[in-house]
Amino acid sequence: MIILLLMVFLAFAISAGVIIWSDSATATARKKAFQSQDIVVQALRVGRNASEQKRDAREIVLDGKDEYADYEVHRNNVVSAFGKWQGAIEEYPDRGDLDLEKERSAALEKIRVEYDAMDGDLQSATQSVRSLLPAEARAALEQGLIADYETRFLPLVESVIEIEKPRAEQAVADADEVSRLGVRISLVTIGLLGIAVLLIAVMIVRDIISSVNKLGNAASRLGEDDLDARVDIEKRDEFGFLAQTFNTMAERLKSSKEELERMNLELKGFAHTVSHDLKGPLTSMTVAGSILEERVMAVSTEEERKDAKEMATIISRSTMSMARLIDDILALAEAGQQPREVSRVDVGEVVKRIMNERNSAIEERGIEVKLSEDLGHVVASEAHVYQVFTNLIGNAIKHNESAKPVIGVSYLGDDLDGGHRYLVRDNGSGIPGWELDKIFVPFFKGRTGETGIGLSTVENIIKVYGGEIQAYNDGGACFEFVLHEFEPDDRPIG
């Protein structure tokens, strides 16, 4: 990358240098062309005005015309052209060839000397006419016209023009060639620069894609519960910072999961310990209560037997209540664990079994039961399916205060992601609004004053299958939930 950046910088520098050189060389060549062209122009002006001056002098001397004003104008034009000619030589001197400058200056000086000689004769001729000396005027005119102009002055001017014209043409050609060369070099440099930029872009894009792919793959592995996923990007840029942040997050997730698993194991062990340690004494208490009741009934009076029976009943109910609480705690501890065995469970058969088990309570309350004809099948642990539905159906039976109680279990079909959606509802007074967001919290005791373990157990089981449950009121309490097909690689959610 650094080499390519240096190449780009070098290409920029070369391109700038070529442009500066091309502009400078082109400007120098064009100055040479302008110089030669200016010399030619001034030489033509000198020749043309000298010719006009000669013609005016001839008409004054030979034809007697009054052409003095035109004569002076053309004479002054020659002097002016000589001055500009000298200026052209000095204004754009070719510093690379001082001999050429000297040659031009010498040629100009030679032409000027010849002109001065011719001009002197023409001046004498025109002045002689004014002084009424026609013979002398004619002699001076002939000397200036023939000896000075024809034989020496005009050939010198023409030779300068012939020399400078090719120089001007060559200078223009040189300027064009330098300009074309500069364009070609600039195009090549721009092409190289474009290639370098393209290579840099390709490398940057490839680097970005590689980093994004690494991050995406690691995120995908992390989403599949592979907490050993890490991003190997050792850079000091945004991607390096993001990779470091991702790795830190993954490490913390792994530590949190390990800690959570350790705590779950401890909780499970605690639940089993509590269950074992408490159930033993409870069993003994139950047996002792029964024996006590039998002995009291055998030896006591009627009144004593009545009192003893009431106390024994209290002991029996209390021990049974404590046993159920212990079973609920154990079920809650195990609810978030993955099932050891799964099968294709017929949900309808499970629900019918639950209804049969609770048939006495249903008939006693006169509850109307409404079941979907087909409650479908789900790949799961049958014990888990049983726990979910028996808790929800039990709550619907227990907490429905309607004069004509109705409970329903409905299969709402499959979600887009394949989850099986169910609804268990009743037509009672519903759940108080302030309890709706708390009823799944473990050990929350609402208006019923119960342990608050059953619904927490239901939620934990449903999460094992990647589902969710929500409670709401719609003509009674409604519990709507989704169960997904269990796969061995599934993990508890939440």
Give the domain ranges of the chain.
Answer: 2-199, 231-335, 339-494
| Cβ atoms 327, 319 nearer than 8 A | no
pLDDT at 5: 65
Residues in CB range of 75: below 8 A, 6 or more apart: 49, 53, 119
Q: What is the 3-state secondary structure of the chain? A: CHHHHHHHHHHHHHHHHHHHHHHHHHHHHHHHHHHHHHHHHHHHHHHHHHHHHHHHHHHHHHCCCCCHHHHHHHHHHHHHHHHHHHHHHHHCCCCCCHHHHHHHHHHHHHHHHHHHHHHHHHHHHHHHHHCCCHHHHHHHHHHHHHHHHHHHHHHHHHHHHHHHHHHHHHHHHHHHHHHHHHHHHHHHHHHHHHHHHHHHHHHHHHHHHHHHHHHHHHHHHHHCCCCCCCCCCCCCCHHHHHHHHHHHHHHHHHHHHHHHHHHHHHHHHHHHHHHHHHHHHHHHHHHHHHHHHHHHHHHCCHHHHHHHHHHHHHHHHHHHHHHHHHHHHHHHHHHCCCCCCCEEEEHHHHHHHHHHHCHHHHHHHCCEEEECCCCCEEEECHHHHHHHHHHHHHHHHHCCCCCCCEEEEEEEEECCCCCEEEEEEECCCCCCHHHCCCCCCCCCCCCCCCCCCHHHHHHHHHHHCCCCEEEEECCCEEEEEEECCCCCCCCCCC
Report the C-alpha gap between 482 and 485 in whole angstroms: 10
Residue 169 has pLDDT above 80, yes or no: no
pLDDT at 318: 64
For the chain, what percent of residues have pLDDT higher than 90?
Answer: 17
pLDDT of residue 193 exceeding 90, the answer is no
466 has pLDDT over 50: yes
Q: What is the C-alpha to C-alpha distance for residues 435 and 473, in angstroms, rounded to an integer?
A: 11
Q: What is the pLDDT of residues 91-121, one digit of tens each?
A: 755 555 667 778 878 888 888 888 887 777 7
Least confident of 262-271, 364-373, 448-457: 262-271
pLDDT score for 55: 80
pLDDT computed for residue 353 by the predictor: 93
Q: What angle do CA 334, 275, 273 make, to 5 degrees?
A: 85
Place of tokens 């629900």: 351
What is the model's pLDDT at position 131?
63
- What mean pLDDT value characterizes the chain? 77
**Of 323 and 87, more confident:** 87
- Give me the percent of the chain exceeding a pLDDT of 70: 73
Of the spans 62-76, 132-146, 180-194, 442-456, which averages the highest pLDDT?
62-76
Q: What is the pLDDT of residue 167?
A: 73
In terms of Cα–Cα distance, which of 142, 136, 127, 149 is closest to 46? 149
- The confidence score (pLDDT) of residue 217 equals 83
**pLDDT winner (highest mean) among 179-183, 215-219, 234-238, 363-367:** 363-367
Specify the higher pLDDT residue, 396 or 59: 396
Beta carbons of 70 and 122 less than 8 angstroms apart:
no
Looking at domain 339-494, does it have CATH number 3.40.109.10?
no
- Between 423 and 44, the more confident residue is 423
Residue-level pLDDT at 492: 43
Window from 147-156, 359-368, 476-485 with minimum mean pLDDT: 147-156
Q: Which long-range contacts (CB under 8 A, 24 or more apart) does 238-241 make?
A: 239/208, 239/211, 239/215
Residues 410-461 have pLDDT tens digits of: 999 998 888 999 999 999 988 888 888 888 887 776 666 566 678 888 998 9
pLDDT at 491 > cutoff 50: no
Tell me the C-alpha to C-alpha distance, in Å, between residue 93 and each of 97, 103, 350: 9, 12, 112
Tens digit of each residue's pLDDT (9 = 90 or more) over 323-360: 655 665 666 555 556 777 889 999 999 999 999 999 99
Q: Which amino acid is it at 275?
A: S
| Choice between 131 and 261, residue whose per-residue pLDDT is larger | 261
Give the pLDDT score at 238: 74
Question: Which carries the bigger pLDDT value, residue 467 or residue 147?
Answer: 467
Q: Cα-Cα-Cα-Cα dihedral of 336, 340, 341, 347, to 10°?
A: -10
User: Cα angle vertex 245, ends 243, 248, to 5°?
Assistant: 110
Per-residue pLDDT at 479: 96
Whether the Cβ atoms of residue 471 and residue 477 lie closer than 8 Å to each other: yes
